[in-house]
Amino acid sequence: MPDRLADLQQAMHLIAEAVRTLPEGCRDLAANALLNVAAEAVAEDVGCSEAGRIFARLADHLSQGRQPPMSGALSLSGFDA
């Protein structure tokens, strides 16, 4: 799992850098676009029912003020980093 966390951190860094290079008019749409891409990928990877459970756990974290850090990951399922 340590390699997976390192890969996740690298991916988050690369995405953050890519968002900074977008035209200003698109930057505010980047989070929504990334969420759509991520939701589709998760649903395709684990199926819609499990994706729903994962996103419900994410919603619980966010409603309690816990935001996913750039330096790591929130544990949402037994399958993530």
Query: Could you give the residue ranges of the DSSP H alpha helices within the chain?
Result: 2-20, 24-46, 48-63
Per-residue pLDDT of the chain (81 residues; tens, 9 = 90+): 567 778 878 888 899 899 999 999 898 899 899 989 999 999 999 999 999 998 998 888 889 888 776 666 677 765 544
The CA–CA distances, whole Å, from 61 to 12, 25, 56 equal 19, 30, 9
Q: What's the confidence (pLDDT) of residue 66?
A: 83
At residue 77, the pLDDT reads: 61
**What is the phi/psi pair of residue 61, to 5°?**
-60, -50
